Structure 1
Amino acid sequence: MTNEKQLVGEKAAEFIQDGMTVGLGTGSTAYYFVLALAERIKNEGLKIVGVPTSIATAELAQEQGITIRSIDEVEQLDITVDGTDEFDDDLNGIKGGGGALLIEKIVANNSQEIIWIADHTKKVDQLGAFPLPVEVITEGSQQLLRYFEEKGYHPTLRLDSEGNPYVTDHKHYIIDLHLEKITHPYDLAEELIHLVGVVEHGLFLNRANKVIIAEDDAAQIITK
């Protein structure tokens, strides 16, 4: 059986050119992109700078010999390759299942091109089946949970493997909204980002330039 995540990760690495500053995504699919990129650096002498979107990705990139810098150490990024938890026909998506949505969005906003990589299950007709992550500061999180309950957004505080509140790299909590369907994503994004205590949300709208998806044991490129 084809490893779809590895397939699209390796395909995305083909888009990287010598001298680029590259955003390195977070998650199980982006993992394979980082490995493939490291292999190109090793075999071709490719010189790039990677900007990781999480501590986990930074550690992986360093292990693989990729030169890394923080987002504040570069002027802009040529390209970012990242996974996505869901995406629709307009290439709008939900991200943050891996807990790195804040820096993922900052890196994306400072990239000239954004490529998402995904297995075939991530393509949907309408966003919302995947719970929408909302990163919040810890103090006041219970108030936001109550607000989301009252709105009918079916929120849950994300927990770690030990049953404690999941804490992001930047010491925040994540509230996942189990919406099933998001009919008006732009309106929802506007509502969420203006709530006091919300740091960022996982709606990534009008950002991706292309998505590389695995289909029939081959990598297919979807563009707007």
Structure 2
Amino acid sequence: MPAELSPIDKAKFAAARRAVDFIQDGMKVGLGTGSTAAWMVRCLAERVREERLKIAGVPTSTRTAELARELGIEVVTLDEAKWLDVTIDGADEFDPELNLIKGGGGALLQEKIVATASDQMIVITDAAKEVAHLGAFPLPVEVVPFGWQTTRALIEEMLVSMDVMGRETTLRQNGGKPFVTDEGNYIVDCHLKRIGNPRQLSLVLNQIPGVVENGLFIDLCDIVIIGGAEGEVEVRDINEGTVTQGRVDFAEESNIFSDLD
């Protein structure tokens, strides 16, 4: 039940619940990956069940696809959908311009492709993810396995000329072996501490042979929804220049928690 959830889970749920209010019947929706996005999928599934909402969901990872199908959301591929009305996803960090670092869950490539193929991107998060400058969270860079050590060395060499505070890189591990993405690639996490020019860094990273994509999401997020542990939500729309406040009543949301007991 809601009372048994941690404050951070309550904040994630509040943001997710508010985000699905943007979804209308007939929409094609990008479904993000991660713990906050999982709450969104649950909330969306509840609307599908109770309102008989007809939507097509394009998941950004195999685990999101499995959850969506399990909860009764129609899942289609991006090729089938072609273009999306909205994508709702989480973020590891966001700055005042709503630039993001994503990829902590390892799905940054599909997440960026889906977000780019959407009319609108909504990010759901909690206040702890807001930063003045990106970079405290390690920046994920997806690389092909072939020659990954050379690619990593090229990344480190390039970082010398970038406006960053740190240049340490690590290969992401999973059970003592390299973490492998849904596309069969590796992830090099860059511990930069502070990124002075995210746009420049993103462009230069993607010019390095062996780099598939990086976790900087620049000019993609339109709305960020920040949830709080007491159900409070703040909606920032960068295109409209508006900030609105609201609240989610946990007492009215018992259905979504029924399968968590």
Kindly report which structure 2 residues correspond to 1:33-72, keeping only aligned pairs within 5 A, or say none.
33-72=40-79
For 1:110, the equivalent position in structure 2 comes to 117
Report the 3-state secondary structure (helix = DSSP H, G, I; strand = E; otherwise coil) of the residue aligned with 1:133: strand
Kindly report which structure 2 residues correspond to 1:12-161, keeping only aligned pairs within 5 A, or say none.
12-150=19-157, 151-152=159-160, 153-160=167-174
The question of 1:212 aligning with 2:219 is answered no
For 1:171, the equivalent position in structure 2 comes to 184
What's the offset of the Cα at 1:75?
2.0
Q: Using structure 1 for the length normalisation, give the TM-score.
A: 0.97
In 2, distance between residues paired with 1:194 and 1:145? 13
In 2, distance between residues paired with 1:192 and 1:73? 30
In 2, distance between residues paired with 1:75 and 1:214? 31
Pick aligned residue for 1:188 from 193, 201, 205: 201
Structure 1: any 5+ residue segments left out of the alignment? none
User: Relative to structure 2, which stretch is displaced further, 70-79 or 30-39?
Assistant: 70-79
In 2, distance between residues paired with 1:124 and 1:159? 26
The question of 1:222 aligning with 2:229 is answered no
Q: Does the CA-based 8 Å contact 1:148-1:154 persist in structure 2?
A: no
Structure 2: any 5+ residue segments left out of the alignment? 1-5, 161-166, 239-261
Report the 3-state secondary structure (helix = DSSP H, G, I; strand = E; otherwise coil) of the residue aligned with 1:142: helix
Structure 1 or 2, whichever has the larger Rg, is 2
Matching residue's letter, 2:93: E
What's the offset of the Cα at 1:223?
1.8
User: Relative to structure 2, which stretch is displaced further, 212-221 or 137-146?
Assistant: 212-221
Q: What RMSD, in angstroms, separates the aligned Cα atoms of the two structures?
A: 1.1
What's the offset of the Cα at 1:17?
0.4
Report the 3-state secondary structure (helix = DSSP H, G, I; strand = E; otherwise coil) of the residue aligned with 1:14: helix
Matching residue's letter, 1:222: R
In 2, distance between residues paired with 1:115 and 1:164? 34
